[in-house]
A and B are shown apart, each in its own frame.
Chain A
Amino acid sequence: MPTDLRPPPPRAPATTRAASPPRRGLPLPVWNVLAVVLGLAVWAGLARAGVSGLPGPQEVAVRAGELAMDGTLLDDGLASLRRVLIGFALGTALAVPVGFLMGWYRTARGLIEPYVQFFRTIPPLAVIPLAILLMGIGETPKIFVIFLAAFLSCVVSTFQGVVSVDKTTINAARVLGAGDAVVFRRIIVPASTPFILVGMRVGLGAAWATLVAAELIAAQEGLGYRMQQAQIYYDLPSIFVGLITIGVLGLIMDRLLLAAEKRLTGWQERR
């Protein structure tokens, strides 16, 4: 086996929410809400018990209200969202064709894989100093780092999807008269869609993970920048507002992808 440094294959997406066990007691969302309420209660309890400097939920909510009123929260949120979305979109837009290329053509795999594997071992954050020196302190290095994180997660998954397409399925298409182009378009693409979507979700996670660090690069706005400022002024409520906003935005985007996945890959047999 040549360069078999491949990361563990993304499990062909388990359609987790599929087979729900026989319903007993309260429906799942009720438990979810309960868990959130309970978490808030524990948080409030800890804050009241006087864990040093920890703001309570009310305090954070008030600060969130203030930041929302004067528009900073929206501006910061939009600035961060814009970076994540652009970086993520560029990353996946490049990762999907490159992944297909690697899976379909041995030569392309041989040429590209060493680079992908090498850069995968470097945390995207470690690229930041270099990115600043080469690209200045504008938007470019921030988006580039996010792009890199999203690209690397997604490309491996796409590639894995292409190479794991069942050989018999391809043969079945060939004996029905399909040539390379048809096999690619009508077999390889749909068969690897589940892998691509898993790659996109992982890539999205990576993009958010990289965001805050990327915004430490002389940003003028953004959730990461705001949290950095808050750190300087020992403004814990603002840090909490930033964290929660990032979490909520990430969650919403992940749910959107999940919905897309459900729509696009509902044909899968459940294992």
Chain B
Amino acid sequence: MTEKISFRSTSRTFDVGGKPFHALQSVDLDIADREFVTVVGPSGCGKSTLMNIAAGLIEPTGGEVLVDSRPVHGPSPERGVIFQQYALFPWLTVRENVEFGLRIAKVGRTERRRRAQHFIDLVGLTDFADVLPRMLSGGMKQRCAIARAYAVDPQVLLMDEPFGALDALTRVQMQDQLLATWGTEQRTVMFITHDVDEAVYLANRVVVMAARPGRVQEVIDVDLPYPRTEAVRLSPEFTRIRNRVWRAVYHQPVQEGLSR
């Protein structure tokens, strides 16, 4: 198994009111090529920080993160990021949003069009290619963001609670669609969520994090076949893994007093 992303005793300390706050303490984690890893944990466990470090949006204060064995410094189109708040460019149409990264990469007009169209079709926004984001629903916005991230052909997709702001039904549909997209366009995915069901349903492996200090608590393999369907979601095996993850998330021994 070749490692795509490697966290090597990655730490990040923030200064909160003059006191150090250990958002991440010495995290070691390897994510294999084309693996779909979800990261769950209570709020404040540093899961977003972990993702931002992998994205190159935050520098670690200790250790490092390697992508393809090269240390990460700063953001790069090789690592696509999908944000919870969609972060579309509201003054650009869906198509222009998806073409944004291709323009920067100086991809020619015809090729740019073709690739953008491919991913717009893939996420089901064909009929909305030329509208502004304000006309889209939350789920459609996030699909546009996913198409935008895919368009620059990243090796790695980092997703920070991408479906967190969606209603339950839309969320399930988005999960299925994401898996379908991932099935045809396999990338290494690191997916942050606080939803245990979502974490188990999507992943090869679930990384459970704990807070204060932010650290990896447990890594749980999900031996469920892809493609995942409703039958999988309702299977006893799913429930068993889900319960295990749930316990790992919610019955965490407190390592340090909450007052710290």
Contacts and interface: CB of A to CB of B under 8 A. Distances in A.
Contacts, number: 70
A177 B76 contact: yes
B4 interface: no
B134 A166 contact: no
B105 A174 contact: no
A193 to B, nearest CB: 8
Contacts of B80: 175-176
Contacts of B105: 177
A177 B56 CA distance: 12
Given A176-B77, A176-B104, A187 B89 contact: yes
B204 interface: no
B249 to A, nearest CB: 26
A177 B81 CA distance: 11
A220 interface: no
B152 A176 contact: yes
A166 B89 contact: no
B152 A171 contact: no
B238 interface: no
Interface residues of B, number: 29
B71 interface: no
Name the interface size band of chain A. 20 to 34
A169 interface: yes
A171 B89 contact: no
Interface string A184-201: 001100110100000000
Interface string B84-106: 01011111100000001100110
B57 interface: yes
Contacts of A174: 57, 74-75
A268 B83 contact: no
B79 interface: yes
A173 B100 contact: yes
Given A267-B91, A268-B90, A168 B101 contact: no
8 contacts: A171-B75, A171-B81, A171-B83, A177-B104, A177-B152, A178-B104, A267-B92, A269-B133
Interface of B: 55-57, 74-77, 79-81, 83, 85, 87-92, 100-101, 104-105, 132-134, 145, 148-149, 152
